[in-house]
Amino acid sequence: MTGIKKRNTRLNWLLPIGIVLLLYGCNHVEKIPHAEDVPKEQLLDFLMEGNERFADDHPIHPDQTLERLRELNRGQHPVAAIVSCSDSRVPPELIFDQGLGDLFVIRNAGNIVGDYEIGSLEYAIEYLEVPIVIILGHTNCGAIGAFVDHDHDHSHVYADYVQKIIDFIDAEEEEKSLSRDMPNFFEKAVEANVLHGIHALKNSLPHVDSLIIEKKLRIVGAIYDMETGKVRVLKED
């Protein structure tokens, strides 16, 4: 009986200390700024930090509340435009650990950049004034895989509109420049498709170059690794 009392006394003594430590910890959690409050020149680092949280399995899911949704009803101010694949395993808002209204996302099979995608990017650049555009490819991309298979074996017949995607990728100069017998052709084809997106955007919207020179816009290519969850930024031209 005496032992039980001693244990209870010890617990009564530790409980307030535990509460104090818990409150102290909560008050000292690092504050993550809202995306729109981050300086333009730091936005890529900010997004990569979000990806690091995601890849480390410690996302914070910022700005995903009903309050945020109602606030956005008055207007949107995304900090980045992203062209990514429609693949259900590649959701940009999740892999960059961002919230509602933070990203202007354009998705299609193969993250290809054609007329419609360029039109959407032009809207984001001209009217939403996004300071950064990311063309985001990913490992094991089905569209690129279909292109690679078709490139090696034309006997397989795809549905008409799937074939149009393959033909679009096949016509890219960046893909044509690759050696078909290289051992990592698939991986290089993914990168080449991303680079094509960057070049297509710059060639279609000539004023983009002046925005880049004035440091009002940055265009980058990146690859998302579906095994690790990490995004790798490609070296800029």
Query: What are 86-142's pLDDT values in tens digits?
Result: 999 999 999 999 999 999 999 999 999 999 999 999 999 999 999 999 999 999 999
Whole-number mean pLDDT of the chain? 89
Report pLDDT for 118: 98
As a whole number of Å, the end-to-end CA separation of the chain is 77
Say if residues 112 and 169 touch (Cβ distance below 8 Å).
yes
CA distance 63 to 98: 7
Q: If you average pLDDT over residues 18-23, what whole number do you get?
A: 48
Mean pLDDT confidence for 28-36: 70
Task: Answer whether 54's CB lies under 8 Å from 97's CB.
Answer: yes
pLDDT tens-digit series, residues 138-158: 999 999 999 999 877 777 889
pLDDT value at 27 more than 50: no
pLDDT of residue 126: 96
Which among 74, 68, 126 has a CA at the least distance from the CA of 102? 68
The pLDDT of residue 20 is above 60? no
The percentage of residues in the chain with a pLDDT greater than 90, rounded to a whole number, is 71
Tally of residues, the chain: 237
Three-state secondary structure call for residue 230: coil
pLDDT at 19: 52
Return phi, psi of residue 97, to 5°: 50, 55
Please state, in angstroms and as integers, the Cα–Cα distance from residue 231 to each residue in 25, 47, 210, following that order.
Answer: 30, 10, 27
Greatest mean pLDDT range, 2-6, 13-17, 188-192: 188-192
Name the band, by pLDDT with cuts 50, 70 and 90, for residue 12: low
Helix (H) or strand (E) holding 60: none
Q: Is 15 exposed, middle or buried (0-12, 13-18, 19+ CB in 10 A)?
A: exposed
Give me the residues paired with residue 220 across strands.
Answer: 134
| Closest by CA position to 224, among listed 73, 111, 71 | 111
Of residues 19 and 143, more confidently modeled: 143
pLDDT given for residue 65 in this prediction: 83
